[in-house]
Amino acid sequence: MFRLFSQAKRCLQVKRGLQKTLCPVRFPAAVEQNRFSTTSHPAQAQTGSSWPKDVGILALEVYFPSQYVDQVELEKYDGVEAGKYTIGLGQKQMGFCAAHEDINSLCLTVVHRLVERNRISWDSIGRLEVGTETIIDKSKAVKTVLMQLFEESGNTDVEGIDTTNACYGGTASLFNSADWMESSSWDGRYALVVCGDIAVYATGNARPTGGAGAVAMLIGPEAPLALERGVRGTHMEHVYDFYKPDLASEYPMVDGQLSIQCYFRALDRCYATYRKKIESQWQKAGINKRCTLEDFQFMIFHTPFCKLVQKSLARVLLNDFLASPSPDAESGIYKGLQDFRNVKLEDTYSSKEVDKAFQKASQELFKQKTQPSLFLSARNGNMYTPSVYGCLASLLAQYTAEQLAGSRIGVFSYGSGLAASMFSLKVSENSAPGSPLEKLVSSLSDLGARLESRKCVPPEKFAEMMKIREETHHLVDHTPHGSSSDLFPGTWYLERVDEKNRRNYARRTL
């Protein structure tokens, strides 16, 4: 039976609080036997007679910057009405990177941290794929930069590369890694999925919706968070709602209203497809029922800002209401919604009346199923590709293994342009002490303490640092502004860009 971690534990003292060290990942016996073979694969992959069992997320690591700006103070600095960012957007704080952190350093940090804390051997990783939209080189992939972490092990046989489409690249990387593991190409080793971005905007209304961070996920069989097979609902189309055509700038072109409309349309389409597929599975199993929000114990969403997520859960309830053949509008959750019985989804994207009614109706569902997942997003902002996986980390950090065991987590991932999917994770029933689920949950229990350990930067200083970043991020033969002492211990940072635009990185000691 697969054991994610051994019983050994140790602790590392970091600058701001206690950083837990987990126990080493071990391979299943069959995988251990075949993982380095060049002539044979595990029996499951070789014969195709069965799938690896419960492929999914074994371990998860989050990185966010060591400083933030408070959104209340930013409202005052920007001269906007009180509550515009905190109530209107639902944001409390926004993490941001100084000029000596870039997408490569963020991903180096989160990968190194995941491998160290779980004591994974570098040669046990057979695939590494990066999802990002933060492009600093039009040719060289972030994945190739990460390969320096493998040098000492001698492992260069690592498949996968970067995947890019706005905030969707991380989900595409997750799907690709799971598909690799369920294919004849799988050699029995783990996959590592990395999502990272720096979300920065020019001075103006969009700047408070920024953020930065990275997530790394170890993918393997017999996982405590298993991807439910055959039920992904995907929607893709061509639209210019958010894009980055200026390759000399970190700032995007954004049509805010169009982007929200696209997000809602994608949500509607993905949810409809997901329901169709899972209901078909149920029918084949002799279960004749409709899929609704009640079938998800938790529902998490890509989070540009927290208020949009509350509206999104309300929209899922609207979908359930319209799909029901005979909803009870006299009592229960649909009480008082009869006037909306004949609305068309495509006519409701900007309807304040529909939005208000269904937010009110779904208020308790939001508190139960979704609000806990916004813990990190409200305090760090939009991380782009890692956003929805930061929500997953937040969820795991606020519940015990016993509370999560056996639940279904619905996941909606969206990337402008656009690409979107809805899928679900099935949580293991085994929540016993020492179980993979208990260890995964325990590994994220310090999330709140880590957020509390960050430094609050005044808005004036934040604006100054953003200006420095804007003016220097493209410079050659340059030492970036910023001190390594301001970073969390163990953080990688950009040390220098040489005269040929080659980037050199260093790591702050633990």
Structure tokens at 43: 């029996």
DSSP 136: S
DSSP string, 210-248: -EEEEEEEEEESS-SEEEPTT--EEEE----SEE---TT
- Our CA angle for 228, 118, 27, nearest 5°, is 60
Contact 390, 380 (CB under 8 A): yes
Given a contact cutoff of 8 angstroms between Cβ atoms, the answer to whether 123 and 113 are in contact is no
- What is the Rg, in whole angstroms, of the alpha carbon atoms belonging to the chain? 23
Can you spell out the DSSP letters for 399-412?
A: S-HHHHTT-EEEEE
Q: Which amino acid is at 198?
A: I
Structure tokens at 328: 């009870």
Peptide linkage before 267 cis (omega within 30 of 0): no
Phi, psi (degrees; rounded to nearest 5) at 337: -105, 10
Contact 153, 123 (CB under 8 A): yes
Q: What is the DSSP string of 16-68?
A: TEEEEE-PPP---HHHHHHTT-SS---HHHHH-SSPPTT-EEEEEEEE--SEE
Q: Which two tokens stand for residue 385?
A: 């590709």
Task: Assess contact for 98 and 486: CB atoms under 8 A.
Answer: yes
Question: What is the C-alpha separation between 285 and 304, in angstroms, rounded?
Answer: 38
How crowded is the C-beta side of 377, counted as CA atoms within 13 Å?
Answer: 32
- Which residues belong to the active site? 133, 167, 302
Longest Cα–Cα distance in the chain? 71
